[in-house]
Amino acid sequence: MPYSDDVAMNRGKFGREDYLKYFDSAVFLKTFHSDIQRNGGGPDALEDDDLTGRRLLDIGTGPTIHTVISASNCCDTIYLSKIAPQNRETLRKWLEGTLQHSFKSFFQYVVDREGKGEIPSGREAMLKDKIVGIFPLDLLQAEPLLPSLFPTFDIITSSLCIEVAAPDLAGYEIIARSVGKLLKEGGHIALFGVLGGSFYQVGSHTFYCLKISGEQVQDIWKRSGFKIVGWKQNASLGQHDTSLSDFEGVFHMVAQKCL
């Protein structure tokens, strides 16, 4: 897939190899997910959405599980996915209970917000019970989940992933169409992402981000066979350190795959 002029201008160098070679899961968690205040209260792709379905796929889970905490209430089974093996290994350690990093403040945030009297450890156990597995995923492939094969999903969630996987706007649309094939007709996708950003920093390494507007995001998903049923856009996400990322806003989108 060719690079565009816009990609060349970004601070971060685009490429899947960046994640395979340079992404440090431990540094990422310490920098962005040490506690809920640092993270700005999210992003949780299903926050405040009334979506239900039997099977859910989370795309680009990364080394953190906060994006699917709410999902444990709305589906029966959850599939996690990420390209970088070091991130999948981090998730496996969390499932096994051997990960040193704690997500307690994120579980506390969710159960407090829902107000049902749950305890964080109970919600964490529920989430673990519903996770089917952690699978390799490459959004730049026509079949992102190969060699794994699954029936289409009821819900797909993704946070801060597609804009760092797409090399340009045309590539973003290719990804949207590939993701759409993983979703059943009438199913929903819930996305959280950044707008207007060109990079984010993890330790000493700068990672690429596609500079995209809210209008472009919505237009691409509409052209890819989706109906936008929910859209929220804000200027910031909690405490925003501009040395770590230059994004100009965040969005939360829910879209339904057209029948």
Checking if the pLDDT of 59 tops 70, the result is: yes
Predicted TM-score of the model (pTM): 0.90
Checking if the pLDDT of 144 tops 70, the result is: yes
Two tokens, residue 34? 């040490």
Strand 153-159, strand 55-59: pairing: parallel
Query: What's the chain's average pLDDT?
Result: 87
Q: Please name which of 247, 234, 196, 201 lies closest in space to residue 217, comparing C-alpha atoms.
A: 196
What pLDDT score does 242 carry? 81
Task: Verify cis geometry, omega within 30 degrees of 0, for the bond prior to 167.
Answer: no
Checking if the pLDDT of 10 tops 80, the result is: no
CB contact burial 194-229 (16+ within 10 A = b; e otherwise): bbebbbbbbeebbbbbbbbebeebbebbeebbbeee
- Terminus-to-terminus CA distance in the chain, angstroms? 30
Contacts of 100 (CB under 8 A, 6+ apart): none
CA gap 193, 115 in Å, rounded = 26
What pLDDT score does 238 carry? 54
**What average pLDDT does the segment 157-176 reach?**
95
> What residue numbers bound the domain in which 52 lies?
5-257
Q: Please name which of 135, 33, 131, 133 lies closest in space to residue 85, comparing C-alpha atoms.
A: 135
- CA–chain centroid gap for 148, Å, is 19
User: Mind giving me the DSSP string for 99-117?
Assistant: -SS--HHHHHHHHHHHTS-
Specify the number of domains making up the chain.
Answer: 1
**Which 3 state secondary structure label does DSSP give 52?**
coil
Task: Give the ranges where the chain is alpha helix by DSSP (H).
Answer: 5-9, 16-22, 25-32, 36-39, 85-96, 104-114, 120-130, 162-165, 169-181, 214-223
What pLDDT score does 41 carry? 46
Q: Are 103 and 41 in contact (CB under 8 A)?
A: no
Checking if the pLDDT of 258 tops 50, the result is: yes
Checking if the pLDDT of 143 tops 90, the result is: yes
**What average pLDDT does the segment 119-144 reach?**
95
CATH of the domain at 180: 3.40.50.150
For 131, the enclosing helix (H) or strand (E) is: strand 131-136
Q: Please name which of 6, 3, 24, 20 lies closest in space to residue 200, comparing C-alpha atoms.
A: 24
What pLDDT score does 207 carry? 93
